[in-house]
Amino acid sequence: MATKTARVETITGSSHMPDDTEAAAGSGEPGASPRRVRIPVASVRADAPQFQIAAKNPRRAEIVAGSGFLMAAVGFAGFGAAYWQNYSNFWLAITFSVGFGGLGYGMVIWGKYLMPRGPFSESRHSLAPTQAQREVFIEDFASRGKVAVERRGFLVKALGLASGILGVVLAFPFIRSLGPLPGKTLRQTAWRRGSYLVDITGRRIKTGDLEVGGFTTVFPPDDIGGAYSQTMLIRVDTPPASGYLTPPPQFAKQRATWAPQGYIAFSKVCTHAGCPVGLYQELTKKMLCPCHQSLFDVTDAAIPIFGPAPRPLPQLPLYIDDDGYFRAQDGYDEPVGPGYWERGND
């Protein structure tokens, strides 16, 4: 190891707070005789005992500390992968613990065995250094820092690897936790033209499956159990003479054939807060949301007549095929569920 030669400079400084006499001398008054002492300041050699490390085998200690940083890198990478794939909390905890455990282990080994032991203390006085003295101090200070860091390039790189992976992983919550972009899912469901109406088991619903006043929850075959696709199929009445339930006047043309054979279907997603409208009152022909007591009139296009719901429930147009199965004429003609920013007040 290269040895730095100490450069000794003699600095004049005051060893005590200036009294009135010294103040007068500093202001240029005659007769002033300041009491001053001369303090020698010398830089310490780089191979001084306090700069020696504790490890008898520095290379082995460096490998051990580096292994801790590499283990931390693997742990943080594993945590990021587990978080991204939505693994259980067990794996999140294991990988997170391995990451910080390895990071702490490596830093402890580095600090205990590969850093200068000290002690670093000296008697200091209140001095006003000159520019030249400051330059000497900065040069000497920088050279000492290299003893602990520059010679441990492998450890610095391993620590940087672990810290870099941790920094990337910490950004995951701001990316993945936001979830996928909704796209068209706010305006469209899985209902399509010709979709069969099936129950939660996937069984197709036929005209004779419900008695008058009965109801069931149905889904399209490709989204069984889907929160946005859930629909309530109700047998409101016996088949009328026209074959279809009569819609309210404002929908006389548009929904004339949407409710065949006394059956009608409305979205179960409440337009207030998205709760499932899971109750039907046969005598009053009303659908009820049990969460906040919104009440919808089935015979009047599911318009809310009580509660906080601001809009009617969307109606699913139905038809009955040649085999007697219920199918959708098309998807919903409006977004289901509560309002959102882009929807406005429609």
User: Is 80 exposed, middle or buried (CB count within 10 Å of its CB: 0-12, 13-18, 19+)?
Assistant: buried
Candidates 62, 328, 110; CA nearest to 198 is 328
| Contacts (Cβ under 8 Å, ≥6 apart) of 286 | 280, 295, 296, 297, 298, 305
pLDDT of residue 149: 56
Distance CA(53)–CA(87), nearest Å, equals 44
Is residue 212 within 8 A of residue 239, CB to CB? The reply is: no
Mean pLDDT by runs of 10 across the 346 residues of the chain is 42 44 47 54 66 84 91 93 88 93 92 79 68 82 61 77 86 71 78 95 93 95 93 92 90 92 95 93 94 94 94 95 95 88 55
pLDDT of residue 116: 81
Distance CA(8)–CA(262), nearest Å, equals 106
Backbone angles phi, psi at 265, to 5 degrees: -135, 130
* Type of residue at 66: G
The DSSP-derived string for 255-274 is TTTSSBTTEEEEE-B-TTT-
CA atoms within 13 A on the CB side of 44: 15
Question: Which CATH class for the 207-339 domain?
Answer: mainly beta
Take residue 194 and report the two structure tokens written for it.
Answer: 């010709």
Take residue 103 and report the two structure tokens written for it.
Answer: 């990071």
Any idea where the domains of the chain sit in the sequence? 8-175, 207-339
pLDDT of residue 343: 60
Distance CA(153)–CA(220), nearest Å, equals 62
Q: Please, what is the Cα angle at 231 between 228 and 233, to 5 degrees?
A: 180
Candidates 330, 72, 51; CA nearest to 188 is 330
pLDDT of residue 48: 72
Distance CA(324)–CA(206), nearest Å, equals 6
Take residue 99 and report the two structure tokens written for it.
Answer: 């990451």
Q: Which H or E run contains 327?
A: strand 326-328
Candidates 183, 147, 132; CA nearest to 10 is 132
Take residue 55 and report the two structure tokens written for it.
Answer: 């490890």
Overall pTM > 0.75:
no
Is the bond preceding residue 119 a cis peptide, omega within 30 degrees? yes
- Decide: helix, strand or coil at residue 72: helix
Report DSSP state, residue 86: T
Distance CA(52)–CA(29), nearest Å, equals 52
